[in-house]
Amino acid sequence: MFATYLIGLREGLEATLVVSILVAFLVKSQRRDRLPQVWGGVGLAVALSVLFGWLIEYTSTSLLARSEDRELFEAVTSVAAVVFVTWMIFWMRRAARTMAGELRGRLSEALAVGSLAVAGMAFLAVIREGLETALIFYSAAQGAAGDSGPLLALLAGIASAVAIGVGLYFSALRINLSTFFTWTGALLILVAAGILKYGVHDFQEAGVLPGLNDLAFDISAALDPSTWYAALLAGMFNVTPAPSVLETVAWVAYAVPVLVLFLLRPAPPAGASAPAPSAGAAGVTEPTGTAPASPRA
């Protein structure tokens, strides 16, 4: 369940910071009359994200009759989730320094167009996070059918993200956003490696890939699947005591190079400012420092 909590926390905080930037900009610009359009766009994005998540689950459980088709569908969604996680992590690292300024610029243009443009801008800013969350959650929660734990953990992560975002907006909380996104990004890479491993397993069960019974190792005697720590490792990173050779190769081939590339990030250019996606209408906070003072007017 920690994996789905982490997904909700990470994706939820990104969406919350985006919304906070938009709201703070409107308040600072004395355009509170456009706040209903922002919340309308955010609400529509959340509703469609929930619908997308339900559609994925419905497709898997109701539309696909053959077990091989369900395994193949789950495998494809797992690979897609890994692609989205990887893209999101590296995009966030690259875009953090300019996100606030770009959002304010696009919102200024939307204000000049009209209320529908403001709602559309807010919708587009949130829908990406929502669709990613639905897809990644479905892939991370595979194998937990009938268990409400992963869903509750996801909701808890989103609630935590909203609380953190509100705290930042009202200056009741100060955190190092760079450290937060670095640590959660590294953990999500390990989660994504587990999702990829699960996808390879599904491809093998669907008959697309060979070697389902070719085990890389079997440490069931030392890592009893019935123990709490084995369940924790399996739930977080899909670490199992008897994986196939292809599963193990996929996990290592993804986790090691991606984690190295993520942690060995280049230093920012000399003299360049480094605004992070904080809630500030002023829009600037140091990724190497803490969240700024209150952004409100």
Average of pLDDT values for 170-192? 81
pLDDT digits (tens, 9 = 90+) for 187-230: 889 989 999 998 999 999 988 999 988 999 988 888 887 787 77
Contact 271, 2 (CB under 8 A): no
pLDDT at 291: 43
Average of pLDDT values for 178-194? 86
Scored b (16 or more CB within 10 A) or e, 73-89 reads bbbbbbbbbbebbbebb
Comparing CA positions, the residue from 129, 126, 101, 124 lying closest to residue 25 is: 101
Nearest-angstrom CA–CA distance, 15 and 63: 31
Torsion sign, CA atoms 244, 250, 251, 257: positive
Nearest-angstrom CA–CA distance, 160 and 141: 19
Instruction: Give the pair of three-digit tokens for residue 102.
Output: 């770009």
Pick from 25-39, 140-154, 168-182 the range whose average pLDDT is largest. 25-39
- For residue 287, pLDDT over 50 is answered with no
pLDDT digits (tens, 9 = 90+) for 112-160: 888 888 888 889 888 988 888 888 888 877 755 556 777 888 889 899 9
DSSP 264: S
pTM (predicted TM-score): 0.76
Pick from 12-16, 75-79, 167-171 the range whose average pLDDT is largest. 75-79
Average of pLDDT values for 79-107? 82
Average of pLDDT values for 244-251? 94
